[in-house]
């Protein structure tokens, strides 16, 4: 089969190689998915540099979310069959024609859901829903600040926040990205380069401050969001796309009784799979009801996966970027 291989760390997206490699062998409790599409995430770049939460042995293919067809079923698997259409979340290996995945990490997709939509669904929607619902305890009527609101996870946080009944303040860089957040229902739009971001956020809330901060960016945006936190606010730490990990002043947490909540969505696949499955059931149900509108801004074929990842790293995309895989690349 074909795959995009990382053969050395620190080489960047262009260091990946399009190669022919052996197909995976299905193990006990696993399925093999013939990949038709793979979602692209900022975390993929961390893998390329050896900076992700888990380390992969070289050579490897990045890729944390795929959609495709089950081609093999391992011993002890009873809830999947060859031919099932699924979305799945491998630990890595999604930039390839096939990938072996624990069966518990795969979910059947509706017949009406195409593979590109499905491949861009798990990480972005899963992160935002599990984070807002389970970790941040977002309630209807609360004020939700979404930083990086036009990115892969940020845009789903806007959409889900609106669906869950929150008043959503979207922060993104430039009118074009803010327009995308507006389409997904954001109630207030703030340019990330506003002269005084904290004042702009406070003005949008009528001076009340925000109840939940959704932050996949870090750096100066997080600092501004924390300054605009309301009493008993919750700050949800998703990631650090800016490259700057903020240092949090404990006295600020004390004065406003603020919770800072760490959230790594991928850990739930192993630590609390039932909670992740419940989240997926809710999300797929909402999609079937027409209440979610996934936004995929760009696709690239597998051989051009480096271009796809660069779109994400250089913030030239909105919503999701997805790699498409031809059926011939699986054999």
Domains assigned to the chain:
2-121+296-330 (3.90.180.10), 124-266 (3.90.180.10)
Q: What is the pLDDT along the chain (331 residues), one digit of tens a residue?
A: 999 999 999 999 999 999 999 999 999 999 999 999 999 998 999 999 998 888 889 999 999 999 999 999 999 999 999 999 999 999 999 999 999 999 999 999 999 999 999 999 999 999 999 999 999 999 999 999 999 999 889 999 999 999 999 999 999 999 999 999 999 999 999 999 999 999 999 999 999 999 999 999 999 999 999 999 999 999 999 998 888 898 898 998 999 999 999 999 989 988 998 899 899 889 999 999 999 989 899 999 999 999 999 999 998 888 899 999 999 999 8
pLDDT value at residue 210 = 98
E strand intervals along 174-228: 188-191, 210-215
User: How far lies 47's CA from each of 122, 216, 309, in Å?
Assistant: 18, 17, 12
Q: What totals of helices (H) and strands (E) does the chain contain, helices first? A: 11, 15
Chain centre distance of CA 127 = 6
Token output for 30:
């696993």
Q: Does an H or E element contain 51, and which?
A: none
Residue 38: closest CA among 91, 97, 84: 97
pLDDT value at residue 72 = 98
Measured from the Cβ of residue 8, the count of other Cβ atoms closer than 10 Å reads 11
Residue written as token pair 């031809």 = 326
pLDDT value at residue 96 = 98
Cα dihedral 184, 189, 192, 198 sign: negative
| 3 state SS for 107-143 | EECCCCCCHHHHHCCHHHHHHHHHHHHHHCCCCCCCE
Asked whether the beta carbons of 1 and 35 are under 8 A apart, the reply is: no
Omega cis (within 30) before 53: no
Token output for 196:
């005084």
pLDDT value at residue 17 = 97
Residue 220: closest CA among 200, 190, 240, 250: 240
pLDDT value at residue 115 = 97
Asked whether the beta carbons of 313 and 45 are under 8 A apart, the reply is: yes
E strand intervals along the chain: 2-5, 17-20, 30-40, 66-73, 85-88, 98-102, 106-108, 143-147, 167-172, 188-191, 210-215, 229-237, 259-262, 296-301, 320-324
Strand 167-172 with 143-147, pairing: parallel
pLDDT value at residue 186 = 97
Strand 320-324 with 296-301, pairing: parallel
pLDDT value at residue 270 = 85
Angle at 91 between CA 235 and CA 58, to 5 degrees: 120
User: How far lies 23's CA from each of 82, 225, 230, in Å?
Assistant: 16, 47, 53
**Can you state the percent helix, strand and coil of the chain, rounding each to 5?**
35, 25, 40
pLDDT value at residue 51 = 86
């Amino acid at each position: 089969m074909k795959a995009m291989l990382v053969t050395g760390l620190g080489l960047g997206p262009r260091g990946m190689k399009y190669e022919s490699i052996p197909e995976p062998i299905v193990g006990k409790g696993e399925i093999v998915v013939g990949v038709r599409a793979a979602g692209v995430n900022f975390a993929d770049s961390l893998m390329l540099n050896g900076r992700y939460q888990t380390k992969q042995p070289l050579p490897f293919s990045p890729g944390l979310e795929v959609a495709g067809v089950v081609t093999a079923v391992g011993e002890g698997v009873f809830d999947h069959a060859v031919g099932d259409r699924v979305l799945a979340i491998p630990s890595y290996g999604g930039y390839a024609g096939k990938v072996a995945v624990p069966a518990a990490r795969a979910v059947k997709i509706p017949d009406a859901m195409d593979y590109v939509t499905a491949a861009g669904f798990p990480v972005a929607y899963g992160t935002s829903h599990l984070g807002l619902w389970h970790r941040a305890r977002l309630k209807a009527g609360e004020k939700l600040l979404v930083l990086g609101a036009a990115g892969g996870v940020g845009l789903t946080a806007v959409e889900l926040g609106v669906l869950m009944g929150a008043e959503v303040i979207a922060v993104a860089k430039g009118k074009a990205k803010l327009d995308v957040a507006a389409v997904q229902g954001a109630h207030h739009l703030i340019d990330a380069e506003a002269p005084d971001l904290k004042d702009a956020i406070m003005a949008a809330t009528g001076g009340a401050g925000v109840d939940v901060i959704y932050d996949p960016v870090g750096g100066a945006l997080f600092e501004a969001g924390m300054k605009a936190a309301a009493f008993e606010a919750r700050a949800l730490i998703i990631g650090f796309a800016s490259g700057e990990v903020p240092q949090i002043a404990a006295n600020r947490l004390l004065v406003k009784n603020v919770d800072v909540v760490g959230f790594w969505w991928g850990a739930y696949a192993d630590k609390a799979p039932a909670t992740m499955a419940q989240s997926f059931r809710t999300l797929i149900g909402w999609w079937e009801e027409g209440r979610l509108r996934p936004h995929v801004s760009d696709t690239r074929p597998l051989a051009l996966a480096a271009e796809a990842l660069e779109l994400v790293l250089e913030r030239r995309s909105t919503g999701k970027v997805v790699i498409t895989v031809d059926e011939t690349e699986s054999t």
